[in-house]
Amino acid sequence: MRKLIIYGVGDFAKLVKHMAEADGHYKVIGFCADRQYINSNYFLDLEVSPVDKLSEIYSKDETYIIVAAGYKSMLAREYMFETAKKTGFTMASVISKHACIDLSVNIGKNAIVFPGVQIEPFSVIGDNCIIWSSAVICHDSVVGDHCFIAAQSLLGGRAKIGKRSFMGFNSIILQDVSVGDDCLIGAKSLVTKDVPVASKCIGTPAHIVSTYDQKGVTV
């Protein structure tokens, strides 16, 4: 069984630990975080190490790392992914055995895919994406790096969603529609036409209610 370090010490890190071990693919041996976020030496009875000291503690040949950062800030998730890459440890993915993913699908590094997810043929999922329970990614769709796709969302055939974007619960992006980088699609929204970068869209049909600045999408 492969050894795994989880980068993060919050509720989402606890959830990722459960998923990683439930399917029997990994044994979590520790957690890590940026120094300013370490308030205790232990989390879930495992040692918490500074992320910049991992190579002094663990063997890179035997240990994997995964980023466990939720949806509050897409830029923070991107930062943690880039920091994890710099450690030199191999990046893991946690993909539930109860997800239905066609063999033709291309999934990037540090993917977290929950039970009940369906990803249809020829779709592409970027690095550091979270796809929550029962979401559906239809054929030939593209999900950019660092995206968060909430539960029961649907991305239609040949649709695209750009980097660092967020799809809320039960949201739908129709077929052939493109959503730009750094966008937020609100819960239960129906996106029927292309959305420019850095937009917040809500409603049925969805309309732009605001735009994002350099801080990116926050939820």
**12 and 74 assigned to the same domain:** yes
Residue 218 lies in a domain: no
**99 and 197 assigned to the same domain:** yes
**62 and 102 assigned to the same domain:** no
Residue 9 lies in a domain: yes
**75 and 110 assigned to the same domain:** no
pLDDT tens profile 90-108: 999 999 999 999 999 999 9
**150 and 127 assigned to the same domain:** yes
Locate 128 and state its tokens: 């550091």
pLDDT tens profile 166-196: 999 999 999 999 999 999 999 999 999 999 9
Residue 58 lies in a domain: yes
DSSP class per residue in 95-154:
E-TTSEE-TT-EE-TT-EE-TT-EE-TT-EE-TT-EE-TT-EE-TT-EE-TT-EE-TT-E
Q: pTM above the 0.85 mark?
A: yes
Residue 32 lies in a domain: yes
Residue 121 lies in a domain: yes
**85 and 114 assigned to the same domain:** no
Residue 86 lies in a domain: yes
**109 and 88 assigned to the same domain:** no
**99 and 181 assigned to the same domain:** yes
pLDDT tens profile 132-169: 999 999 999 999 999 999 999 999 999 999 999 999 99
**76 and 143 assigned to the same domain:** no
**142 and 64 assigned to the same domain:** no
**51 and 68 assigned to the same domain:** yes
**162 and 71 assigned to the same domain:** no
Specify the CATH number for the domain of residue 137. Answer: 2.160.10.10
Split into its structural domains, the chain has a count of 2
Are the C-beta atoms of 178 and 160 separated by less than 8 Å? yes
Domain region containing 140: 95-201
Residue with the bigger pLDDT between 127 and 215: it is: 127
Residue 151 lies in a domain: yes
Locate 209 and state its tokens: 């209610």
Are the C-beta atoms of 37 and 9 separated by less than 8 Å? yes
Residue 43 lies in a domain: yes
